[in-house]
Amino acid sequence: MSSIENTAPLKSASIFTLFSPRLLPATLMLGGGVTLYAVESYITATIAPSIVRDIGGLELFSWMTTLFVAAGVLGSITVATRPKGMGLRAVYIAAALTFGAGSLICAIAPTMPVLLIGRAVQGYGSGMLSGLAYAFIRFIYPEPLWRRASTLYAAIWGVATVLGPTLGGLFAAGGAWREAFIILVPLAVIMAFSARWLLPDVADDRIDTRTPLIQIILLLAAVLFVSIAGTIEHGSYKVVLIAVSIVLVATMVLIERKSEVRLLPYGAAMLSNPIARLYLTIFTMMLVLTSDIYIPYFLQTLHGVTPLVSGYLVALVALGWTIAAFFSNSLSGRQAAAAIIAGCILETAATASLIPFLSTATPFSELAEFAPAVIAMFLMGFGVGLGWAHLVTRIIGIARRTEQDKASAAISMTQSLGGAFGAALAGVIVNGAGLTNPGGIAGGLSAANWLYTLMAVPGLIAIVLSFTIRPASA
């Protein structure tokens, strides 16, 4: 099953073992798929204004992200619901070609509706690539390296939050938004053809390959509604859309409990089951972390920080995630369980500490004035990175062998859901607290206070859940 047959020498191996000659090809292929998904999310957000200026379609602006996210969730689901007998390598090839096709459509799009089609196709392919990274772990690496591989993928997301906007800015500055898509086409083709030689052809060990169509429809509808809620300005519409999304997800969970055809691995819809608490911890941590999307606004409006500097400061959240991921990757057993608990506590405490650090109207001109907020931002990401790989490894470790693909796909799905719900909820909070009305300094102060007060609450749930997660050796 693994590319390395003798796992004994790897029990104390470092993350750099993933880049050993025998593992490097597969690591590059799987890490490359995650990188495409992560970086592309941020590149397009940066070049979107240039796209609208060129081909119009401002009224459809928000759908560039909405369709990409929804299609990405569907793509991750496809990894687990693919036709019987279709191996993961074949899915990877199809995913890379799909991503390349979507990128080509975006590059040549004459109008916004055509570009949106391309974004949906692109998102579907990248969602599959992201889900495949976790699905392939158990076939590529021996078990002692699962946590290291999960750490690497987590670190890629952290780096992408810095690399994506930077690359997007370069293309946007030159008005070369089409080139930002076209360069991805040959890259996707190379990845597709390389997969045949660089990834193993593993057998499909699933038993139940029936498609849980009702659950998929409910989940996609929930993602679409909550993503739209995150892009509209009207507060009451946001609340309604989020409420509908919650109802749809709750309905999906109830159906999962009773249905013989499941979207999620066994036990994921029952809070009494450990795997359900693992997924819920991932969801709540991502939801809390998404509150960082308003940090640049508060820095600029309340503290006089320039847009460029505020952009680099918020990147500290990603830097914290990346550093923590590497810091904790060698932990195991009780230490890993403690890292999950410590990570949830750190993220929640750091989020709450932004209340006094950001919700003031004091200009940041000296380093000492920046320091508390800078540390808090760094620790938000550090907390997530500290426990992320251990959460992923525990899910893969306790899921039934025949449901490993479902378990892996659900990781990406849960991550996307947490981000979508977090962005929408944050929008409801800040708009209800006065970000736009009365706006200005007064509105910003009120919005910052309420945002980081209320967004810390899900963090408390994550802390409680983390104490119920038993060490892998237990």
Poorest-pLDDT segment among 8-22, 222-236, 409-423: 8-22
pLDDT of residue 36 exceeding 50, the answer is yes
Q: What is the mean pLDDT of residues 11-18?
A: 69
Fold match flag (21-202 vs 268-474): yes
Q: What are the boundaries of each domain within the chain? A: 21-202, 268-474
pLDDT given for residue 1 in this prediction: 41
pLDDT of residue 367 exceeding 70, the answer is no
| Non-local CB neighbours of 289 within 8 Å, separated by 6+ positions | 317, 347, 380, 381, 384, 418, 419, 422
pLDDT given for residue 6 in this prediction: 40
234-266 pLDDT tens trace:
768 888 999 999 999 999 999 998 888 888 898
41, 117, 127, 321, 370 from 162: Cα distances, Å:
12, 27, 20, 12, 20
pLDDT of residue 209 exceeding 90, the answer is no
| Non-local CB neighbours of 303 within 8 Å, separated by 6+ positions | 358, 360, 361, 362, 363, 364, 369
Q: What is the mean pLDDT of residues 360-380?
A: 81
Q: Domain 268-474: which CATH class?
A: mainly alpha
pLDDT of residue 2 exceeding 50, the answer is no
Respond yes or no on whether the N-terminal peptide bond of residue 186 is cis (omega within 30° of 0).
no
40-82 pLDDT tens trace:
877 887 788 788 888 988 778 778 888 888 898 899 889 888 8
CATH architecture observed for domain 21-202: Up-down Bundle (1.20)
| Residues 67, 57: Cα–Cα separation, whole Å | 15
pLDDT given for residue 405 in this prediction: 84
Confidence band, pLDDT 50/70/90 cuts, at residue 307:
low
142-166 pLDDT tens trace:
888 888 888 888 778 777 766 777 7
| Non-local CB neighbours of 231 within 8 Å, separated by 6+ positions | 62, 65, 66
Confidence band, pLDDT 50/70/90 cuts, at residue 3:
very low
| Residues 326, 307: Cα–Cα separation, whole Å | 30
